[in-house]
Amino acid sequence: MTNPLLSAWDTPFKLAPFDKISDDDFALAFEEALVAHKAEVEAIAESADAPSFANTIEAMEVAGEGLNKVLSVFFSVSGADSNPAREALQRDFSPKLAAHSAEISANKALFGRIKAIWDARDTLDLTEEQQRVLMLTHRGFVRGGAALEGDADARMKEIKGRLAVLGTEFTQNLLADEREWFMPLAEADLEGLPDFAVDAARAAGEEKGADGPVVTLSRSIIVPFLQFSPRRDLREKAFEAWAARGANGGETDNRAIAGEILALRDERAKLLGYASFAGYKLETEMAKTPEAVRGLLMDVWGPAKARAEADAAVLTEMMHVDGINDDLAPWDWRYYAEKRRKAEHDLDEAALKPYLQLDRMIEASFACATKLFGLAFKELDVPLYHEDCRAWEVTRDGAHVAVFIGDYFARGGKRSGAWCSAMRGQAKFPEVQGPVVINVCNFAKGDPALLSYDDARTLFHEFGHALHQMLSNVTYESISGTSVARDFVELPSQLYEHWLEVPEVLAEYATHAETGEAMPQAMLEKVLGAANFDQGFATVEYVASALVDLAFHEGAAPSDPMAKQAEVLAELGMPAAITMRHATPHFAHVFAGDGYSSGYYSYMWSEVMDADAFEAFEEAGSAFDPETAKALERHILSTGGSVEADELYKRFRGRLPGVEALLKGRGLAA
């Protein structure tokens, strides 16, 4: 029987035939595709023809298509719908992929060809985009260790392989802790919880096979519990389990893994001649240096901490009025902040949530893309990897643009958080290739599914990433879509969040789940008025995480990451009632892979731009100003990584922004 992962996909839009793929297909397909890619690379490296852009750089662009097909399917399902078989495969694949990547980047014959083309670049008639691809390819090989020799070369391969193993272990340990822990609730323990939170707890209990409702460590369940439960003892128990993910001792403890990862990254950077891993990592980002990152974060830390401390005093007084003469604790903050929000803004999340139906918010995100960029969405009936998934064809003026897949609900086999990935990137070489893009979220199921305002913002955020992938219009897949500097990649996603707060969008799409009536004007005004509520807390928990990440990678690797974390927080004067958004043992952004290592700051770097970019629409007089939307697509959304990020932003806005728009947007300006 033919392995469906290795055969041509005669399916609508050449989508993966998920209904024909089983877990048993992955190992054989992976091994065959890996061997095929090695042969393709070797043929390029050992070619008798003189090196040229076509026979080397473009040949590398198309090599590995079969491997990419296998991995795009595998990593999509292993991240969003894991099981023991897929976890075992991931542990097997990760070191082999790392070794394969290291072999390519250390291939002296291949690097010799790339270097020859690079050295002759001024004599070649290359387009601007080809020059960019050549530069990125050459730089990537140098930074990957291609110029290393002897023992250093061998050690770099060992480091890359070990980091791949550790990143997989970190991720799977975290998933295991999140999957295994739950707290049963008696009927009396549901007191004070709104209907949506009760429904989510009952649904989670059914999934866990428990005899009644439970609280799990899914953010969409535990955060509402911390917001609404009057039971301080249960809030403390739930919060401490949430905070302890990856630090519970035993086989799933991530603390030693984090320490080894940091030591290996430091060694890797020094092999390449850098003073620190942060120096190595930030060289290719907009920020360029650790000093620039620290400057931004500290510019925001002062105002945020001052706001958080003032808020903490108010919440403490509210707690004392309740007869609890204790210090405000992390498991108290959300509960009293919610009570305060209800009192000061007369905004009750339980009353708000019926107006934020998942289906209507999906419609809203699509409608904004239609008004801004002329996109149309038609739902598809195609096999996908899980029954919860939905798919749409995206078109413009009747022409196919992309396929968009949404996987919105939390489940035990899905890692926490939300993300966007491309199962297939956009390209025009060697043929026109429409992207296949997935948004994965962790919303609570319901009938209908209702979102918190934060959930709705997450939906818009991830769809902003999807637009960056879908509207890409470049020649080479290696620079398409979100293949940009890490501190630029969050600009389109965070910018798109702004359209959720456009009054006309909420007025049309925020309709009540039972009555169908639009959100009352008074509630709409309260929602928008409370948009910056509790920003001291949100900013402090984020910036603290970013500063700890930077400190981990800025100098010599700490022998004890937990001690280093405590030291950084003490130096900052971290408010006692706020914890890091992601403490070290569950800081997957930083330790599951290299993606956001030394780069967690990038959300805020991008926010400086997104606040300023949305002001361009406001200055034009409309959130849907057509000329500004065209400029946004032309200079940012369609260009991928074909031009340096700061140049792209200057083409759109005429200048680079300062931090003022961010502080104003968060309500932290003096």
> How many whole angstroms separate alpha carbon 167 and alpha carbon 593?
5
For 119, counting Cβ atoms within 10 Å of its Cβ (0-12 exposed, 13-18 middle, 19+ buried), the class is exposed
The single residue of 40, 285, 462, 541 carrying the catalytic annotation is 462
**Left if phi > 0, otherwise alpha if psi is -120 to 50, otherwise beta: which for 381?**
beta
Respond yes or no: is residue 462 known to be catalytic. yes
- One-letter identity of residue 621: G
- One-letter identity of residue 436: V
Tokens representing 72 are: 């795009």
Contact status, residue 541 vs residue 581, Cβ threshold 8 Å: yes
Give me the torsion for CA of 496, 497, 499, 504, rounded to 10°.
160
CA angle 218, 532, 364 (to 5 degrees): 65
Reported in sequence order, the residue ranges of 353-474 that DSSP labels E, i.e. its strands, are: 375-380, 390-396, 399-409, 419-424, 436-443
For 2, counting Cβ atoms within 10 Å of its Cβ (0-12 exposed, 13-18 middle, 19+ buried), the class is exposed
Distance of CA 73 to the CA centre of its chain: 18
> How many whole angstroms separate alpha carbon 447 and alpha carbon 440?
19
Contact status, residue 616 vs residue 652, Cβ threshold 8 Å: yes
Containing 523, the helix (H) or strand (E) segment is: helix 521-529
> How many whole angstroms separate alpha carbon 644 and alpha carbon 655?
14
Q: DSSP letter string over 21-69?
A: --HHHHHHHHHHHHHHHHHHHHHHHT-SSPP-IIIIIIHHHHTTHHHHH
Contact status, residue 138 vs residue 118, Cβ threshold 8 Å: yes
Q: How many CB atoms lie within 10 A of CB 521?
A: 10
Kindly give the pairing relationship between strand 436-443 and strand 399-409.
parallel
Q: How many CB atoms lie within 10 A of CB 668?
A: 19
> How many whole angstroms separate alpha carbon 252 and alpha carbon 244?
11
Residues paired with residue 376 on neighbouring β-strands, in sequence order: 395
Q: DSSP letter string over 133-170?
A: HHHHHHHHHHHHTTT--HHHHHHHHHHHHHHHHHHHHH
> How many whole angstroms separate alpha carbon 588 and alpha carbon 586?
6
Q: How many CB atoms lie within 10 A of CB 29?
A: 23
Please list, in sequence order, all residues whose beta carbon lies within 8 angstroms of the beta carbon of residue 250, skipping any fewer than 6 positions away. none
Three-state secondary structure call for residue 623: coil
What are the residue numbers of the active site? 462
